[in-house]
Amino acid sequence: MVQNLNMLIMGGDARYLEVIKTLAGEGVNIFAAGFDKCKFNNASINHADVDNMDLSKIDAITLPVAGTDPSGEVEVEYADKPLFISEKTLKKTPAHCIIYTGTSNDFLENIAVSANRKLVELFARDDMAVYNSIPTAEGALRLAMEETNVTIHSANVMVLGFGRVGITVARLFAAVGANVQAAARKPSALARVKEMGLTPVKISEIKEHADKATIFVNTVPHPILDAEVISAMDPEALILDLASKPGGTDFNFAKEKGIKALHALGLPGKNAPKTAGEIIGGVLLELLKENLSN
């Protein structure tokens, strides 16, 4: 049971309005920090000021998808006042308090260790990543339609990386009639590409195939679309980089070459915040039941 558990939700975009709604609907007491511009009509949802609240009864803290910046600042969309989390904040919570974040960084990991609190990175979970890949892929398809002057049907598309996001992206573009090449390193992934009726490309050979695509969708979070690969592209090519910062594209070189390259971060929050928020809320509910309600 999760009823009467106390969760502090710190910041976030439209997805977290759905997270709040989902959790409160299951009886979780929500303390929402960074939502000053929002009105809640649920007795289980309370506005919170982290610096002036009693944290001793907080069972869990939830941070946005992006976690924090290196100084501990949390992204807020519905408040004007900046919001921070710190080691001092965590030490005011009970020992069983768990911190849930979309993604982590050195700052978060360090303060969690120093405060002896468990830190859970939601997007490191396979289920979360697979669920989240659906609105991500749909957002990429929408951008491809908006940023090109041709139909996606019959367009030549190269998907870079064939992990949890890359598979969903490749499948969706193929489903609407695109000619999809998918680049991967592992032989098993390349075999899966072929099994799906797509064209496999070795990551080491993407330069040789770059002139055969007009839309590139990157999911690899390290440099992959470098100057050599970009130089081999059609001048009218479009790059959609879905990888987390700093991405896998040499954006400066692409600009010099006149190739449109977009770092398309946070697509689920922009494209389908309700669904994306329900996904996060659903996974959080399962984790709360597993970790806190015993």
This prediction's pTM: 0.85
pLDDT at 271: 87
Expressed in angstroms, the distance from the first to the final Cα of the chain is 8
Q: Which CATH number fits domain 6-124+272-291: 3.40.50.300, 3.40.47.10, 1.10.3720.10, 3.40.50.720?
A: 3.40.50.720
Q: What share of the chain is helix, strand, coil (3-state, %, to 5)?
A: 40, 20, 40
pLDDT at 291: 76
Where are the CATH 3.40.50.720 domain residues in the chain?
6-124+272-291, 129-263
Q: Could you give the residue ranges of the DSSP H alpha helices within 4-125?
A: 14-25, 87-91, 106-115
* Tens of pLDDT, residues 75-114: 999 999 999 999 999 999 999 999 999 999 999 999 999 9
Domain 129-263 is in which class? alpha beta
Task: With beta carbons less than 8 A apart as the criterion, state whether 226 and 251 touch.
Answer: no
